Structures are given as C-alpha cells and as structure tokens.
C-alpha cells in the first residue's frame, strides 16, 4: 500500500468513505470486491480510534439477550463464524468462564440464556478448520473451576458456566487487512487525510475536500456517493453539510487496563455493581475491561485517568478478590468512545448496540450521502454489506454481489491455521519459534513477505528482546508496505511492540532508528516521534 495523494486526487470514484475504522474499512473492502471505484480516508491512522479500543471480542453478546435483542445476537453469532473463516490468523476461539455465586436463581437464568445462545449459533461449527469450532456451553463444579482458574478460589464460588466466543489477536491489523484487501482490488486509501468539507451540486453530494494532517496539503476527491463512517465523529462530519439535521450521537467511554496474567486460559466474566467486567487472557497478559460511562469530553483527548483506573480496579478486585490488583500492576491502558445512536433513553450500558444506516437523501434531501453509525466490531462486516447493498442501486455501472462473507482477507488464505504455522516453522528451522508464531498470527498468508526481508540480513528476524517476539523486519514492512508514517503507528497498530507496556528504551531506540532510516527523519524528528509515542503510557491528566 503506497500513500500517493496526487494520484489519489487524479482518479474518479464511485464512492468516498470517510473514516477507516472497522466500519469504513469493511465498507471499502466490500465495495471494492463488488467492483466499485473506492476512496477511503482517515484523519488519523487506520483503525486508531474506537476500533483499536475494544475488548477484542468477536462475540454474540450474551448480555443483549437480557434486552430481548435476539436478532442482534443471532446476527453477531453468524458474523463470529464468518470472521473465524475469513481471518483464521487474527481471530481465534476463546472460552469464557462465568463464576456463580450462592443464589440458584441467577444460575438458572444464566443457564437458560446460554442454552438460547447455543441455539442461536446452531451453525457455528460449519467451518473446515476443526480448531475454529466452538463447543456448546457446560456447567462445572466450584472445584473444577478453581483448579482451572486458581484466582477464583478466594471468591468462594458455587460453580461456573463455560461457553465459547472468539477473540481478535490484533483488531488494528484486522482493520488494516480490510484496507489492504480493498487496495488490492483497486481502491485508493490514505491515512492522515481529514475530510474538511463535503461538496454538493444542487441537492446531491459531489465529493470531499480533504486535508493532509502531516503536510497541510489540500486535495479534492470527486464521487457521487459519500459515506460517513466516522464513528464517534459521525455527527461532526454530517454536521459539516447537514447543519441542524445531522444525526445525534450519545458517547459512552470504555477503558481497558492490561496487567500481568491473572487467568490461565479462560476469559472470566465477572459481575460488578456497575455491570459486567471481563478479565481476558491476551498474549500472556490479562486485559481488564470495561467501563460504560457517558462522556462528552473532546474526542481527540480521550485517555484513562488515574481515578478511572483505580475505581475500575476496585470493581475487579471486589468481583475477583484473588487478583489483588493495584495501579502498579497496570502495564498499559487505553480508552475508547462508543458511538451510540441516541434513542432518548439516556442509559448507555443498556442501550442497543444495533447500528444505524442513514440515507440522507431520503431523510434530509441530500442525495448520495449516507451515515453508518454505531454497532459492534463483530457486526461491522454485516453493517458494511447493508450499506453497500443500499448504494448498489445508485450506481449505474455493473457491480457484483457481496462476497465478504466467503472471501478470505489477504492474510486469511492459510487453510487450517495450526498446520499453516507448522509449515512455516518447518520452512524456517533457524528462526525463533515465537517469532514464527507471531508472524503467523499477525500476517497469516502474507508472513512470507516479512520473512523475505530477512533473506539478506537475518538479524532483522531476531526477536527484539527476550520478552518480545517482534522483529525489525516487521517495522520495515510496516513502513514499506503498510503505510506506517509514525512511530506510534508501528508500536501500537502495525505490531504489538508497544501494547504490553513500555518495551524498554533500547527497543524503542532501535525501532525509532530503523524508521528514521526508512523515512528520512533527522535526529530531532526521531526524538519527537519517541516522545509522542511514549506519551501513551501516561495516564490522562498527568501522573
Ligand atoms: C470500550 C469499548 C469496547 C468495545 N468492545 C467491543 C468488543 O469486544 N467487541 C465488539 O464487537 N465491539 C466492541 N466495541 C465496539 C466496536 O469497537 C465499535 O463498534 C467499532 O470499533 C466502531 O468502529 P467505527 O469504524 O465505526 O469507529 P472508529 O473505529 O472510531 O472509526 C472512525 C474513524 O473515523 C475517522 N474520522 C473521523 N472524522 C474524520 C474526518 N473528518 N475525516 C477522516 N476521517 C475521520 C477517525 O479517525 C476514526 O478512525 C467496543 C467499543 C468500546 C468503546
């Protein structure tokens, strides 16, 4: 993927998509596969916002059954199977364990809910790779639960349920794969390109003015269709052209804390006075998530405060006394904003995660303009399908049917994933096994492209540190092939180097120098990039 704004501006498009989170990237991928001429832009990096701040679950959303949202849960469970098929390297089954307290009633209600969850995912094992199959739920005794997850012992549980869902290893790379897939099919894509105006001719949109946030350069993109997939910014983007009639969004903030491993292999689903919380196993650590509080702070300044982290740790410790976590255990933290379509209810935790597609031609008289808002990561592919079905009717050129449910993402053509990893290891006997495993999950079928960078210089494929199986080859590949423009892009999205806590000054220095060589940074720029990237480890509001 090359970023070429002049070439981008010179091409005609059928559709311009504003926002390259999961929603915009999925729309671009779907539309490009169907033969649309697509431009995709993001004012930040691909997938940097809400899509990077999720709990990383590809799930049906068991708790939504309580609200009677059976259709949404069924749709999500169907999508879970599709993600496991099209991105076998990045999406993997995850066993959830729900500890039970003393009351019989809560256990009976949960058991009924899980039976329904299984029923709604009746087709979950229609999948070739046996490792991607998800077993039905089961009840286990307190003794079994405590021996599986010793951290539960201190809580005095009466038993537990185990049920299956799935987890993304790296949501940021999943967004990138959809963008790369779209580009392989002819789309133009650019990060750090902000839509500053939506142009109109009469009562229809005609294109977008965009501003490069790195150089200040302005370009114009022309198309008869514009899709607003700007997530929590969707009302701002729509407001540029619709003024008072722009859709209303309620913003709900969610935080996550990464701590040393608390669980062995299960995701623990905990009840707290504020709702439910997860302790999710991830890359040898545990992700604690999440909160759900209405938040109207400026969107570009969202972060986790010390108070939020302490309050949330208090809730987790209350539900999981064996964990005994404190602020000192937090190696990394992140926060995101859920864009929730305003239903007037005021409650964000209980609000529906159903997405909304707005045809502003029908609603506001502005033809060719659409907004796709809300929803879940899990259902972003399906949301994209609905959007592209809708715009399909507006394009006079021939376009095909939706194929994103059956087309593997660029790295997804691995066949049975465990065998793919074994083959990769056999083909590279001299390489550290953890390096190969990391390349396999991050790049899937494209791992060979990263490995090829080590052909002349094998040191590029050495692990960056004893704790980090990431490599400098991945850093170079990010710059040359994945449009990484900043150190932040590389540390936190193209690779997992920064997301398990500060990787150490030596690693940051070597990654910074490698990027400086690739991108021609001088010493001052390299130092600025390092300062900017390391600021992520600070809590919001200092300390
Ligand atoms: C705390 C939390 C936990 C979650 N956990 C899960 C989970 O485990 N599983 C699940 O299925 N879902 C989860 N979700 C929901 C999921 O993350 C979102 O539904 C999804 O990421 C929304 O993606 P999006 O593309 O709509 O928004 P975003 O990812 O926010 O993307 C919008 C993009 O638009 C860009 N943009 C904005 N304005 C402009 C402009 N003017 N020009 C160009 N670009 C612009 C932004 O830079 C941004 O990249 C969670 C959400 C939160 C907040």
Per DSSP bridges, beta strands 159-168 and 188-190 are unpaired
Please give the pLDDT value at position 346.
61
523-534 helix and 505-519 helix, angle to the nearest 10 degrees: 130
Distance 254 CA to ligand 1 centre (A): 12
> CB of 237 closer than 6 A to ligand 1?
yes
> CB of 529 closer than 6 A to ligand 1?
no
Nearest CA to ligand 1 atom 5: 54
Please give the pLDDT value at position 484.
98
What confidence category does residue 344 fall into, taking pLDDT thresholds of 50, 70 and 90? low
User: Could you check whether the bond before residue 55 is cis, i.e. omega within 30 degrees of 0?
Assistant: no
State phi, psi for 408 to the nearest 5 degrees: -60, 145
Per DSSP bridges, beta strands 91-100 and 159-168 are antiparallel
Please give the pLDDT value at position 343.
65
CA 196 to ligand 1: nearest atom: 41
Concatenating the DSSP letter of every residue in 285-328 gives EEEEE---EE--S-GGG---BHHHHHHHHHHHHHH-GGG---GG
Cα distances (angstroms) measured from residue 533 to each of 197, 237, 529, 536: 30, 27, 6, 6
CA 57 to ligand 1: nearest atom: 8
Report the distance separating Cα 206 and Cα 198, nearest Å. Answer: 8
Report the distance separating Cα 404 and Cα 384, nearest Å. Answer: 9
Burial zone of 501 (CB within 10 Å; 0-12 exposed, 13-18 middle, 19+ buried): middle
> CB of 496 closer than 6 A to ligand 1?
no
Distance 379 CA to ligand 1 centre (A): 12
Report the distance separating Cα 304 and Cα 301, nearest Å. Answer: 10
Cβ contacts of residue 16 below 8 Å, gap of 6+? 38, 39, 40, 41, 195, 207, 208, 221, 223, 225, 226, 227
Please give the pLDDT value at position 349.
64
Q: Is the pLDDT of residue 98 over 90?
A: yes
Whether the CB-CB separation of 249 and 301 falls below 8 Å is answered with no
> CB of 378 closer than 6 A to ligand 1?
yes
Q: Looking at residue 179, what DSSP letter applies? A: H
Q: In the predicted model, what is the mean pLDDT of residues 158-176?
A: 98
Length of the chain: 543
Q: Is the pLDDT of residue 107 over 80?
A: yes
What confidence category does residue 457 fall into, taking pLDDT thresholds of 50, 70 and 90? very high
Whether the CB-CB separation of 15 and 391 falls below 8 Å is answered with yes
Please give the pLDDT value at position 398.
74
> CB of 164 closer than 6 A to ligand 1?
no
Mean pLDDT over the full length of the chain: 95
CA 335 to ligand 1: nearest atom: 1
> CB of 18 closer than 6 A to ligand 1?
yes
Q: In the predicted model, what is the mean pLDDT of residues 177-189?
A: 98
Distance 521 CA to ligand 1 centre (A): 31
Structure tokens, 388: 């592209």
Please give the pLDDT value at position 352.
67
> CB of 51 closer than 6 A to ligand 1?
yes
Task: Choose among 295, 333, 329, 288: nearest CA to 312.
Answer: 288
> CB of 42 closer than 6 A to ligand 1?
yes
Secondary structure (3-state) at 457: coil
Task: Choose among 334, 321, 320: nearest CA to 257.
Answer: 334
State the residue for tokens 């790369």: 180
- Percent of the chain clearing pLDDT 90 (strictly above): 89
Tens-place pLDDT, residues 393-449: 888 777 789 999 999 999 999 999 999 999 999 999 999 999 999 999 999 999 999
Report the distance separating Cα 124 and Cα 135, nearest Å. Answer: 9
Please give the pLDDT value at position 400.
84
Secondary structure (3-state) at 468: strand
Distance 22 CA to ligand 1 centre (A): 6
State phi, psi for 337 to the nearest 5 degrees: -120, 125
Whether the CB-CB separation of 286 and 301 falls below 8 Å is answered with no
Q: Is the pLDDT of residue 342 over 80?
A: no
Please give the pLDDT value at position 347.
67
Report the distance separating Cα 357 and Cα 27, nearest Å. Answer: 12
> CB of 338 closer than 6 A to ligand 1?
yes
What confidence category does residue 542 fall into, taking pLDDT thresholds of 50, 70 and 90? low
Q: Is the pLDDT of residue 18 over 60?
A: yes
- Percent of the chain clearing pLDDT 70 (strictly above): 98
Q: In the predicted model, what is the mean pLDDT of residues 522-531?
A: 98
Nearest CA to ligand 1 atom 19: 376
Q: In the predicted model, what is the mean pLDDT of residues 491-498?
A: 98
Q: Which residue has the higher pLDDT, 104 or 518?
A: 518
Distance 176 CA to ligand 1 centre (A): 14
Please give the pLDDT value at position 155.
86
CA 378 to ligand 1: nearest atom: 11
Tens-place pLDDT, residues 345-370: 666 666 667 889 999 999 999 999 99
Nearest CA to ligand 1 atom 33: 19
The alpha carbon of 483 is separated from its chain's Cα centroid by a whole number of angstroms, namely 18
Please give the pLDDT value at position 307.
97
Which of 78, 231, 341, 375 for a ligand 1 pocket mutation test, highest count of atoms within 8 Å of Cβ? 231
Tens-place pLDDT, residues 29-87: 999 999 999 999 999 999 999 999 999 999 999 989 988 999 999 999 999 999 999 99
Q: Is the pLDDT of residue 198 over 90?
A: yes
> CB of 22 closer than 6 A to ligand 1?
yes
Q: In the predicted model, what is the mean pLDDT of residues 499-506?
A: 97
């Amino acid at each position: 993927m090359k970023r070429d704004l002049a070439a981008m501006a010179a091409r005609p498009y059928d559709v311009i998509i504003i926002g390259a989170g999961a929603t915009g990237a999925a729309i671009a991928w779907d539309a490009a596969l169907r033969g649309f001429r697509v431009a995709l832009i993001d004012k930040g990096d691909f997938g940097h916002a809400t899509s990077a701040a999720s709990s990383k679950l590809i799930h049906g959303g068991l708790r939504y059954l309580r609200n009677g949202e059976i259709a949404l849960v069924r749709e999500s469970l169907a999508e879970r199977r599709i993600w496991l098929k099209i991105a076998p390297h990045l999406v993997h089954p995850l066993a959830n364990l729900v500890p039970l307290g003393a009351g019989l009633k809560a256990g009976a209600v949960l058991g009924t809910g899980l039976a329904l969850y299984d029923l709604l995912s009746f087709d979950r094992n229609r999948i070739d790779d046996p490792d991607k199959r998800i077993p039905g739920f089961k009840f286990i005794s307190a003794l079994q639960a405590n021996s599986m997850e010793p951290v539960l012992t201190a809580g005095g549980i009466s038993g537990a349920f185990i049920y299956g869902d799935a987890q993304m290893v790296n949501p940021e790379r999943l967004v990138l794969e959809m963008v790369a897939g779209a580009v392989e099919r002819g789309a133009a894509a650019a990060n750090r390109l902000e839509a500053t105006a939506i142009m109109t001719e009469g009562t229809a949109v005609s294109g977008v003015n965009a501003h490069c946030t790195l150089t200040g350069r302005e370009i114009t993109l022309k198309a008869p269709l514009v899709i607003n997939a700007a997530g929590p910014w969707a009302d701002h983007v729509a407001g540029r052209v619709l003024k008072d009639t722009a859709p209303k969004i309620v913003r709900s903030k969610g935080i996550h804390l990464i701590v040393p491993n608390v669980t062995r292999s299960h995701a623990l689903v905990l009840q707290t006075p504020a709702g439910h919380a997860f302790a999710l196993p991830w890359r040898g650590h545990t992700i604690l998530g999440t909160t759900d509080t209405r938040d109207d702070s400026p969107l570009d300044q969202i972060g986790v405060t010390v108070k939020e982290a302490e309050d949330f740790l208090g809730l987790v410790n209350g539900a999981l006394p064996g964990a005994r976590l404190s602020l000192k255990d937090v190696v990394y933290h992140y926060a995101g904003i859920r864009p929730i379509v305003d239903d007037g209810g005021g409650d964000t935790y209980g609000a529906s995660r159903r997405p909304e597609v707005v045809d502003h031609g029908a609603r506001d008289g502005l033809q060719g303009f659409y907004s796709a808002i809300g929803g879940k990561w899990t259902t972003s592919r399906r949301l994209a399908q609905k959007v592209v079905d809708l715009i399909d009717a507006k394009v006079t050129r021939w376009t095909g049917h939706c194929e994103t449910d059956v087309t593997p993402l660029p790295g997804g053509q691995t066949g049975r994933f465990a065998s793919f990893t074994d083959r990769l290891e056999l083909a590279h006997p001299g390489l550290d096994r953890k390096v190969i495993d990391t390349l396999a999950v991050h790049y899937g079928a494209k791992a060979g492209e990263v490995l090829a960078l080590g052909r002349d210089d094998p040191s590029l494929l050495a692990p960056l540190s004893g704790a980090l199986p990431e490599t400098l080859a991945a850093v170079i590949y990010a710059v040359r092939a994945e449009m990484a423009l900043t150190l932040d892009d590389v540390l936190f999205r193209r690779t997992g180097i920064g997301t398990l806590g500060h990787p150490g000054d030596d690693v940051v220095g070597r990654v910074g120098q490698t990027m400086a060589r690739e991108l021609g940074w001088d010493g001052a720029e390299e130092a600025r990039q390092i300062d900017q990237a390391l600021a992520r480890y600070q809590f919001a509001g200092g300390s």
